[in-house]
Amino acid sequence: MVIGRIINNLKRGRYIPILFQNANKPFECNGYTLLELIITMLLTSIIFSIVSIFLVNPIQIYVDIARRADLIEIADLALCRMERDIHQSLPNSIRVKSVNGKQAIEMINTVAGMRYRTMSPGDNTTILNFSEAITSFNVFGQFPTTLLGNNYRLVIYNTGENGISSDDPTAGVNAYATAVSSGVNPPAGTHVITPATTTITLSNIGSEGHIALNTGFQFAFASPQQRVYLVDTPISYVCDPSSTTLTILQGYTITSVQPIDVTIAPLNTARGDLLANSITACSFQYQPGTSQRGGIVTIEFTVTNGDEQIYLLQQVQVNNIP
């Protein structure tokens, strides 16, 4: 009722003065009294207090959900990128390392994979001989136009065997080995990956692809499934909880010892990009495959923003058939 009188006075263009009765003049009731003003303010305060009870919690819940969604997106995008690169990596090239709280996972990126011919089309006598240097061979199917002319490295039958640790790759069977052993098996001068100085030329002849090596190279072993891979660069993901960052690095030289320090070679020469921040804890684990199953990479992230914290775990299946 009081609020209705105030609205009516406003509509009539009146002032709404606070009137006090004057002894020399009759009391005029054209506005509202101080008591009415106090009651109106009190009622308004009560209404706003009641409304705020119903609004504050939903607003706070919305803010909390939005903050958690941002944290999940940070980790999820990183996991998706890592999963893609792991699936595209050279078989048996994944290795992990942990030093002073830092976590690193490294792999060699595969550009393409195909099956090589043991004999050229129409040639039933000349067989691809892995006991000597190979200068050229054909693969089934044509190369995509985007691959032609590019200088990649070739890998055949990388079993990824190590000595006492992943920083001790076995020469002749592991693409990370920078030297090969001298002995009968594998012979001196052989390896599973062509040297960086060997120029690889790709072309298409008829319905098949052709690979030429500028100088002959002797691979350690033939692939039982006749698989050959084109690779370009190692890729490393380095997680540093002390700086709450996850960084991806690529375009550096393959080394026997897995790199983890971004301030020294070879990672200080790599192209590095920040993939995620707010990473306060992380873990990379790799379980190599067996003859019955593939390998498994386990990735764990803890992402924190203020009082909010989420934990994500992802397992990635790895095909290790060389």
Same domain, 175 and 219: yes
Any domain includes 267: yes
Helix (H) or strand (E) holding 281: strand 279-287
Same domain, 160 and 44: no
* Alpha carbon 124 to chain centroid, angstroms: 47
Q: Which domain holds residue 32?
A: 2-54
Same domain, 87 and 171: yes
Q: Which of 302, 256, 295, 309 is nearest to 280 (CA)?
A: 302
Same domain, 199 and 261: yes
- Cα angle vertex 111, ends 107, 116, to 5°? 110
| Global confidence as pTM | 0.78
Any domain includes 60: no
Question: According to the model, what pLDDT value does residue 58 have?
Answer: 74
Same domain, 120 and 230: yes
Same domain, 77 and 42: no
Q: What CA–CA distances, in Å, run from 222 to 75, 156, 189? A: 41, 7, 15
- Tens of pLDDT, residue by residue over 165-205, are 889 998 888 999 876 554 444 555 678 999 888 899 999 98
What average pLDDT does range 223-231 have in this prediction?
94
Any domain includes 65: no
Any domain includes 59: no
Same domain, 40 and 127: no
Count of domains forming the chain = 2
Least confident of 18-32, 100-114, 291-305: 18-32
Q: Is 131 exposed, middle or buried (0-12, 13-18, 19+ CB in 10 A)?
A: exposed
Q: How confident is the model at residue 69 (pLDDT cuts 50, 70, 90)?
A: confident
What's the one-letter identity of residue 277?
A: N
Cα atoms in the Cβ-side hemisphere of radius 13 Å centred on 157: 17
Q: At 161, list the tokens.
A: 């065997």
Least confident of 39-43, 79-83, 125-129, 313-317: 125-129
Is residue 319 predicted with pLDDT exceeding 80?
Answer: yes
DSSP codes, 57-96: HHHHHHHHHHHHHHHHHHHHHHHHHHHHHHHTBPTT--EE
Same domain, 215 and 273: yes
Residue 213 · residue 198 · CB < 8 Å: yes
Any domain includes 129: yes
Same domain, 33 and 144: no
107 contacts: CB under 8 Å, gap ≥ 6: 85, 86, 89, 90, 93, 94, 95, 234, 235
Same domain, 192 and 268: yes
Residue 250 · residue 284 · CB < 8 Å: no
Q: For a pLDDT cut of 70, what percent of the chain falls above it?
A: 81
Same domain, 22 and 131: no
Cα separation, 308 vs 65, whole angstroms: 10
Same domain, 217 and 296: yes
Any domain includes 310: yes
Any domain includes 62: no
Residue 137 · residue 208 · CB < 8 Å: no
- Tens of pLDDT, residue by residue over 80-114, are 999 999 999 999 999 999 999 999 999 999 999 99
Average pLDDT of the residues of the chain = 83
DSSP codes, 143-195: PPGGGTT---EEE------BSSSTTSBPTTT-TT-SS---STTTTTT-BSB--
Any domain includes 66: no
